């Protein structure tokens, strides 16, 4: 039975202002799950795949992924998470980015992202979008990680 074993949220977002806004509005939506925040892809990937508290070794997670990171593109991270031999291939990934380029959106879905959200430029719209995301997070089911 899935007891909604606490799904951890891994936020990969290099903009501290956006990260605070995302966290604040997820909390406002009543989501109390742990949020681990990373500002670059290298550290985030290490945590996802190798850290003892990370999802590959420690159970279900949901990834909030910005595409524009200082050290690599978010699509590189998405590719690694969703790779055929990845223990995290079923982990839901929500892309949160300022890019609304149709080609980029299609590419992310082709790579396996589950939700693509363009960050509204306007603060209030962004806050509202994140609160709605929080409500979405409160109802979705996340699959267990393959301990394969």
Percent residues over pLDDT 90 in the chain: 66
The per-residue pLDDT for range 67-89, each reduced to its tens digit, is 999 999 999 999 999 999 999 99
Edge-to-edge strands, sheet with 93-97: 35-38, 8-12, 61-65, 93-97, 115-118
Pairing between β-strand 61-65 and β-strand 115-118 as defined by DSSP bridges? unpaired
Name the most confidently modeled range: 20-29, 39-48, 128-137: 39-48
* Residue 62 in this model has a pLDDT that exceeds 70: yes
35's enclosing H/E stretch is strand 35-38
Q: Which residue has the higher pLDDT, 79 or 125?
A: 79
Instruction: Give the global pTM.
Output: 0.90
* Residue 3 in this model has a pLDDT that exceeds 80: no
Q: How many Å apart are CA 122 and CA 127, to the nearest integer? A: 9
Whether the Cβ atoms of residue 34 and residue 40 lie closer than 8 Å to each other = no
Structure tokens given for 70: 């200082």
C-alpha atoms less than 13 angstroms from C-alpha of 48 in its C-beta half-sphere: 29
64's enclosing H/E stretch is strand 61-65
* Residue 5 in this model has a pLDDT that exceeds 80: no
* Residue 136 in this model has a pLDDT that exceeds 90: no
């Amino acid at each position: 039975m899935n007891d909604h074993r606490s799904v951890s949220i891994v936020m990969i977002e290099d903009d501290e202002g956006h990260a605070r806004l995302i966290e604040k509005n997820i909390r406002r939506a009543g989501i109390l799950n742990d949020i681990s925040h990373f500002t670059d892809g290298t550290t985030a990937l290490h945590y996802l795949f190798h850290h003892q508290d990370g999802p590959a070794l420690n159970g279900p997670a949901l990834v909030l992924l910005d595409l524009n990171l200082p050290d690599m593109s978010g699509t590189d991270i998405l590719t690694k998470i969703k790779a055929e031999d990845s223990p995290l291939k079923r982990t839901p990934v929500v892309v949160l980015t300022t890019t609304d380029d149709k080609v980029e959106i299609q590419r992310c879905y082709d790579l396996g992202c589950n939700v693509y959200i363009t960050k509204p430029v306007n603060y209030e719209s962004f806050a509202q979008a994140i609160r709605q995301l929080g409500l979405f997070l409160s109802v979705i089911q996340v699959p267990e990680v393959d301990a394969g």
